[in-house]
Chain A
């Protein structure tokens, strides 16, 4: 029984390749293992032989329709199919195209939709099998390629058609069938190729996307390290082109170097280094301060409002912003108690310095206020001139020109504010000893570091 049912469509010739799912090599209950092995490894060298053998066997199968045995055949093959469908899927997926072509074409096949009445039961049975095919196929669609699915369907179709064709037994329709076979094969081939192409394209997209993310990260890292990345190669040109961004980068780089120098200074102070060594480091730090003022000057020329906004500083620092930077008088106030002991001369000098910086700050602040007022007046003025439209336009343009001129003076204020800051620092170093200067620089750095840390905490605070 088992061997007979399972042998449907199979030939005794070892060269044959089966067309039924049950003829899985691993099926233990059915075919002898030798035949199974043959099935797995063989191709279809001899179409004619197969044709004959299949035709012979299919005719047997047809006779079986009325045979009560067929139900047994059906159920057992179905069981085997259910059990072994996974294996056959793989087999089919890796099979040569010729295999399916041969299977389909093995019995002078036609793709007739209507089946002869005496095959109804078989078709019904076939459909059940088809259902089990599909049921098993659907979970596998995710894993395997569409190849397998299609092959299964084709395979299943091949079964029906094989039986249909055998009934008509028309060798006369060979030629058209051959053409159809070829067409089908080509279709399948084309579909398979397009699927492979799609896969390759998707993989390409994925790798490009990964590469893009990597490049973006590199760029970000490079920016942080202060490497100025610009589309134009010329440094001076690009500075004026995008002054804000360039300055932010420069400032970040400056700050990094400043921190490094401060750490060096701190190490020297803690290790009680000699005056000469301290002097060198202190001079370095002071000279480095000059660098940032120079950079700010260039940036103010390019984009004064960026400097005035303080967006290049952390939020907490921005709180204390005065004309694009820190207040010298605040700095001195901070240091007042930390520099003891001071000689009387030093004390006087320090006190005078505090006073001078305060006065200069007041003067510049009042100048800024006057500028604001003047600008507001310029823009607020109606047009007291002739009522003709051309007169109004001329007035408007005149107004704008004047306002533009006033805005231009902002750069001067930023420059003088920075000048004040720079001069204050230099004067402080003149008053203090080397060691006191070192301690002063460390104290200033501590203060601003805490301010920056406060900004970080503030930005990272949990919000409801």
Chain B
């Protein structure tokens, strides 16, 4: 959990993924489309990946990846990201966290 928090605070937009996860690929693509450059951490290539996954599940993230943090705050999984994006909240959050400028 600490590692998760630690990594999440390092950048305005942080996404925890797995290299094999294609939904993670979708969310990444969305962030790029918005002009953000989130930090990507692949759990399957991290030594403490399993612990991190367990921690993410503990936060209520189901499936565990993709897990999105904006401004150090846990936002949610793909479903939450899409919902927030549609009503315009996601963009605003990114602007507020200074991940994007417009």
Kindly list chain A residues whose C-beta atoms are within 8 Å of the C-beta of B30: 359-360, 363
- B79:A356 contact, CB within 8 angstroms: no
Contact yes or no, A366 B26, CB < 8 A: yes
Q: How far is the CB of B31 from chain A (nearest CB, A)?
A: 9
On chain B, the residues within 8 Å of A402 by CB distance are 20
Whether A364 contacts B87 by the Cβ 8 Å rule is no
Whole-angstrom CA separation of A195 from B87 in the bound complex: 81
A416 to B79, Cβ gap below 8 A? yes
By the criterion CB–CB under 8 Å, are B79 and A363 in contact? no
Chain A CB within 8 A of B8 CB: no
In the assembly, what is the distance between CA of A48 and CA of B91, in Å?
A: 119
Contact with B along A360-380 (1 / 0, CB 8 A): 101110111011001000000
A424 — which chain B residues lie within 8 A by C-beta?
86
Name the residue in A363, A416, A427 with the highest tally of chain B Cβ atoms < 10 Å from its Cβ: A363
Q: Assess whether A419 is in contact with B79, with CB atoms less than 8 Å apart.
A: yes
Contact of A409 with B21 in the complex, beta carbons under 8 Å: yes
Contacts of B29 in A (CB 8 A): 362-363, 366-367
Determine chain A's interface SS by DSSP, over half rule: helix
Given contacts A366-B25, A409-B23, A412-B23, contact A357 B86 (CB under 8 A): yes
Task: Judge whether B88 and A360 touch: CB under 8 Å.
Answer: no
Contact present for A409 and B22 (CB under 8 Å): yes
Q: Which 4 residue pairs spanning A and B have beta carbons closest together?
A: A367-B26, A363-B30, A423-B86, A371-B22
A353: B residues at CB distance < 8 A: 86, 88
B-facing residues in A239-272 (Cβ within 8 Å): none
Taking CB atoms and an 8 Å cut-off, the chain A residues in 262-302 that contact chain B are: none
With both chains docked as a complex, state the minimum distance between the C-beta of A133 and any C-beta of chain B, in angstroms: 89
Which of chain B's residues have a CB closer than 8 A to the CB of A366? 25-26, 29
Verify if B2 is at the interface (C-beta below 8 Å from A).
no
A413 contacts the other chain (CB 8 A): yes
Output the nearest chain A residue to B86 by Cβ-Cβ distance.
A423
Residues of B within 8 A of A360 (CB): 30, 82, 85-86
Which chain A residue lies CB-closest to B21? A409
Which residues of B are found within 8 Å of A371, using beta-carbon distances?
Answer: 22
Q: How many residues of B contact A (CB 8 A)?
A: 21
Task: Kindly state whether residue B34 has any CB partner on chain A within 8 Å.
Answer: yes
- Which residues does A use to contact B, with CB under 8 Å? 352-353, 356-357, 359-360, 362-364, 366-368, 370-371, 374, 402, 405-406, 409, 412-413, 415-416, 419-420, 423-424, 427, 430
Chain A contacts of B78 at CB under 8 A?
412, 416
Q: Which of B78-97 contact A (CB under 8 A)?
A: 78-79, 82-83, 85-88, 91
Contact B33 A367 (CB under 8 A): no
How far is A371 from B88 in the complex, measured between Cα atoms in Å? 27
7 example contacts (A-B, Cβ-Cβ < 8 A) are as follows A356-B85, A359-B30, A359-B33, A363-B33, A371-B22, A419-B83, A420-B86
Residue pair B21, A423 in contact (C-beta under 8 Å): no
User: In angstroms, how far is the closest chain A Cβ from the Cβ of B20?
Assistant: 7
Q: Could you tell me the distance in whole angstroms from the C-beta of B100 to the nearest C-beta in chain A? A: 13
| Inter-chain contacts of A416 with B (CB < 8 A) | 23, 26, 78-79, 82
Contacts of B20 in A (CB 8 A): 374, 402, 405-406
List residues of chain A with CB within 8 A of the CB of B86. 353, 356-357, 360, 420, 423-424, 427
State whether A423 touches B82 (Cβ < 8 A).
yes
Cβ–Cβ contact A420 & B82, under 8 A = yes
Shortest beta-carbon distance, B25 to chain A, in Å? 5
Once the chains are docked, how many angstroms separate the CA of A415 from the CA of B83? 12
- Bound-state Cα–Cα, A360 to B79, Å: 11
B4 within 8 A of A: no
Query: Does B58 sit at the interface, judged by CB under 8 A?
Result: no
Which chain A residues lie closer than 8 Å to B63 at the CB level? 412
Which chain B residue shows the least CB distance to A358?
Answer: B33
Q: Of B22, B85, B87, B88, which contacts A367 at CB under 8 A?
A: B22
Q: A366-B29, A370-B26 are in contact. List 17 more A-B contacts (CB 8 A).
A: A352-B88, A356-B85, A356-B88, A359-B85, A360-B82, A363-B30, A363-B33, A370-B22, A370-B25, A374-B22, A402-B20, A405-B20, A406-B20, A412-B23, A412-B78, A420-B86, A430-B87
B12 at the interface (CB under 8 A from A): no
Give the CA-CA distance A359 to B30 in the complex, in Å.
7
Nearest CB to that of A374 among chain B residues? B22
Chain B 31-67 near chain A by CB (<8 Å), digits 1 or 0:
0011000000000000000000000000000010000
Chain B residues near A362 (CB-CB < 8 A): 29, 33
B27 within 8 A of A: yes
| Residue pair B27, A363 in contact (C-beta under 8 Å) | yes
List of A residues within 8 angstroms of B26 by Cβ: 363-364, 366-367, 370, 413, 416
Interchain nearest-CB distance for B44 vs A (Å): 12
Give chain A residues whose Cβ lies under 8 Å from the Cβ of B34.
359
Q: Closest CB of chain B to A2's CB: distance in Å?
A: 107
| A430 neighbours in B (Cβ, 8 Å) | 87
**Chain A residue, CB-CB nearest to B22:** A371
Q: Could you tell me the distance between the alpha carbons of A378 and B87 in the complex, rounded to whole angstroms?
A: 37
- Chain B hits for A412, CB < 8 A: 23, 63, 78
Smallest CB separation, A407 vs chain B (Å): 11
Q: In this complex, what residue of A is CB-closest to B27?
A: A363
